[in-house]
């Protein structure tokens, strides 16, 4: 007879757990026959001793099987999905979804909400008046067949073991474990039914992963797990030491996404979406090469077909297409100005993200209400030349006193006398 204490001791002593043992612990935790304290002990043993690729694959499978899986067999063609490990100003899904859908790829996207300094795709979409993220599965499938794209909220029945494990990891100091992160992400992606997946693994101050080595390990493991489940998976390692694009805040990011789809967006955001999109389009079998996919995507931006696809998505889900000139309503816009001349050496993404959250653009706790209109629009980024008294950022605000937030935003910029080279955004691509 299997006992949880034996499984804990085995992992504590750095032995490999079998598929049966992993299934036993996940099933027991979900059905409440194994208590929190024993699962906590096992998580800590995994945190210290790690897991083999095979163990991580078995763990992913056990979490995946703990709940429903989305049946997308009713959708014609290969289904594509993208997952980002989260960052500041990361509105990639809002640009990427319509972009690849306009090329003919089938985007069946289940997204989450934001917590802390990283914004959630659902919150950004719900800042659009009338946009409905609660789609019945028949409606979801029909919409993807009709217009190539649908974005909805994740069902609570999807990988319930993951939610339970994450809550426990959060309070036991075991969140930063590569096999636990990989199995968490991949169980949800696999349960969501996609055939082609691109992972955007962020590193830097505003990201979860702090070093390229850890990001590489996580990326390789997730690609391996996906391959073990016969999915086409590619991981991009991208820099999140400064925010992505200029806008941080829900409505502000929607506007930036629309402008990017029209070809008027920030270079870093536009280039990242074109590169990730090229892999999604090519791996769907739409083009023979990545180069052809890249050309196709650039054409869809120039012809405004990508922008039209976003409008089509908004209208299909009950939303009203934003008026670019009358969308943001705040009590005031405050300019944060530089105290010195020079070049931006660094821009702390975490400080910008936390400032936006404190303005009301994000949640500190699950129950917080978001102010969709507020946020920060950067005017300078790393490598840019700055004059004394020149604007570094604009703060869109509805609070009475934002002295602390302005101080934090100003402190996020490090300015030096020497010329600073812009860093590449995409650091590695792992296939």
Catalytic residues: 83, 162, 169, 184, 188
CA distance 343 to 346: 9
Q: Are strands 149-153 and 106-111 parallel, antiparallel or unpaired?
A: parallel
The residue behind tokens 């995507």 is: 297
168, 69 Cβ separation under 8 angstroms? no
Instruction: Tell me which residue of 17, 14, 59, 66 sits closest to 4, measured CA to CA.
Output: 17
184, 68 Cβ separation under 8 angstroms? no
CA distances from 108 to 74, 119, 127 (A): 12, 20, 20
CA distance 392 to 376: 10
What residues have CB less than 8 Å from 296, skipping those under 6 apart? 103, 281, 286, 287
Looking at the DSSP bridge assignments, the partners of residue 115 are: 118
Handedness of CA 353, 355, 358, 364 (dihedral sign): positive
The residue behind tokens 């077909």 is: 305
Count of beta carbons in the 10 Å neighbourhood of residue 129: 13
Looking at the DSSP bridge assignments, the partners of residue 376 are: 248, 395
CA distance 108 to 266: 26
CA distance 316 to 302: 23
CA distance 323 to 326: 5
Give the torsion through C-alpha atoms of 149, 151, 155, 160, to 10 deg. 90
């Amino acid at each position: 007879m299997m006992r949880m204490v034996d499984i804990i001791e085995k992992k504590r002593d750095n032995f490999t757990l079998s598929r049966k043992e992993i299934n036993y612990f996940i099933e027991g935790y979900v059905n409440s026959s194994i208590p929190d304290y024993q699962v906590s002990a096992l998580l800590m043993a995994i945190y210290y001793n790690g897991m083999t690729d095979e163990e991580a694959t078995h763990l992913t499978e056990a979490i995946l099987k703990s709940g429903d899986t989305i049946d997308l067999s009713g959708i014609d063609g290969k289904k594509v999905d993208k997952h980002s490990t989260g960052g500041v100003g990361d509105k990639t899904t809002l640009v990427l979804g319509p972009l690849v859908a306009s090329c003919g790829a089938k985007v069946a996207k289940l997204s989450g909400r934001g917590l802390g300094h990283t914004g959630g795709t659902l919150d950004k979409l719900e800042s659009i008046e009338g946009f409905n993220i609660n789609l019945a599965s028949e409606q979801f499938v029909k919409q993807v067949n009709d217009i190539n794209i649908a974005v909805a909220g994740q069902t609570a029945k999807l990988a319930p073991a993951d939610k339970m494990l994450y809550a426990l990891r959060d309070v036991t100091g075991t969140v930063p474990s590569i096999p636990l992160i990989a199995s968490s992400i991949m169980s949800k992606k696999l349960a969501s039914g996609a055939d082609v997946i691109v992972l955007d693994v962020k590193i830097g101050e505003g990201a979860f992963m702090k070093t390229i080595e850890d990001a590489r390990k996580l990326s390789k493991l997730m690609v391996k797990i996906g391959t073990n489940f016969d999915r086409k998976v590619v991981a991009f390692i991208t820099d999140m030491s400064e925010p992505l694009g200029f806008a941080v805040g829900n409505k502000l990011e929607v506007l930036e996404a629309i402008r990017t789809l029209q070809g008027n967006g920030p270079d870093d955001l536009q280039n990242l979406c074109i590169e990730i999109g090229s892999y999604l389009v090519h791996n769907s079998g739409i083009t023979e090469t990545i180069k052809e996919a890249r050309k196709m995507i650039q054409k869809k931006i120039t012809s405004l077909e990508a922008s039209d696809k976003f409008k089509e998505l908004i209208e299909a889900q009950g939303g009203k297409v934003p008026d670019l000139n009358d969308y943001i309503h705040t009590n005031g816009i405050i300019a944060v100005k530089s105290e010195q001349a020079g070049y931006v050496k660094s821009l702390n993404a975490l400080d910008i993200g936390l400032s936006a959250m404190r303005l009301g653009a994000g949640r500190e706790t699950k129950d917080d209400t978001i102010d969709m209109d507020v946020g920060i629009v950067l005017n300078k980024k790393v490598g840019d030349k700055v004059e004394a008294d020149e604007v570094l950022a604009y703060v869109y605000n509805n609070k009475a006193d934002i002295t602390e937030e302005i101080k934090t935003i100003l402190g996020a910029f490090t300015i030096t006398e020497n010329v600073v080279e812009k860093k590449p955004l995409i650091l590695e691509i792992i296939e």
